[in-house]
Amino acid sequence: ANIWNDPDAADAVFAADWDVTMIGLDVTEKTQCTPDDFAALADAAPHIGGFLQQASSFYFDFHEAKTGKRSCFMHDPSAIIAVTDPALFGFEDRTVSVTCNGDEIGRTVTGVATDRRTTRIAMTVDSASVRAIFLSQIKAADRCAQARKTS
């Protein structure tokens, strides 16, 4: 949704002379959590995990209607973990441009633009490890939040 909502801005970012890393949907959709994951998270981390369990029901419904599978993609957690633990991802450097109009608006295209700096693009992911880190960090954050309340 980020690139699709403002393809011109996204294309400007890829055209800029900046170090850019892209974690695309083709990679983030490989890491998924299920309602059972969030139920276990709510038990282990009642404050934050409980909130996530309640908030995620909308996403499970949406993804089930769209994909037929009752799960939820870990888009934002994958992007964050790519920064904190990049060894879990396989990267390639390629130029990136964004289709800014027409039927394919928001589509990223690699390797075509020759006048751009290359972007570091995630091509593969260790999904099991990313999922485990996400769940572990939510549990740790919940313990910290509870410790603050009692101190």
Segments forming the whole domain that contains residue 110: 2-31+74-150
8 A C-beta contact, residue 49 and residue 142: yes
Dihedrals phi, psi of 21, to nearest 5 degrees: -115, 135
For residue 68, being part of any structural domain is answered with no
91-112: per-residue pLDDT in tens?
999 999 999 999 999 999 998 8
What's the total number of domains in the chain? 1
- pLDDT, mean of residues 143-150: 85
Q: What is the pTM for the complete model shown?
A: 0.89
For residue 52, being part of any structural domain is answered with no
Return the pLDDT at 145.
86
Partner residues linked to 89 by β-bridges: 125
5-62: per-residue pLDDT in tens?
999 999 999 999 999 999 999 999 999 999 999 999 999 999 999 999 999 999 999 9
